[in-house]
Copies of this chain bind each other. A is one copy, B any other.
Amino acid sequence: MIVQSNLDREFEAIEDVWSPRVIAEANGQYVKIARARGEFVWHAHAAEDEFFLVHRGELVIHYRDGEDVVLGPGDFHVVPRGREHMTEAREECWILMVEPVSTRHTGETESDLTKPVEAQIAHLTDVGR
């Protein structure tokens, strides 16, 4: 698999909000991107940290047990494992994440927004072609 592409091109290929798209795999981690708009679901990942980088727009990460983190373009943040959080974008926001291949994007929460990982990587054979 040749992994070579462009972030904007990959974001533009995403049809739905809150539907992560895997753009690369390295060392058991996925680099994923997603379009965010509105509220996601409250969830936690018991054993996995999540790195967030905002590419465009503004993302708010609400913590059940702490203050909101507000991220603008170029801002990054790590949500530590085990901390319940909910992401929200008042206007459309484009985010990049790095997390283990095993991470379910809604954590231990099952939701209408939950996308199986197969759907997140379905396009990957076309990457870089």
A residues adjacent to B (C-beta < 8 A):
3-8, 23-27, 29, 31, 48-51, 53, 69, 71-72, 74-78, 98-100
Contact = CB atoms under 8 A, between A and B. Distances in A.
Given A29-B98, A49-B26, A99-B26, A77 B4 contact: yes
9 contacts: A4-B69, A4-B71, A4-B76, A6-B76, A7-B74, A25-B49, A27-B100, A31-B51, A31-B98
Copies in the complex: 2
A25 B25 CA distance: 17
Given A29-B29, A98-B26, A8 B50 contact: no
A1 B110 CA distance: 30
A8 B74 CA distance: 7
A3 B98 contact: no
Given A5-B75, A6-B75, A26-B51, 4 more contacts: A3-B76, A5-B76, A26-B49, A27-B49
A55 to B, nearest CB: 9
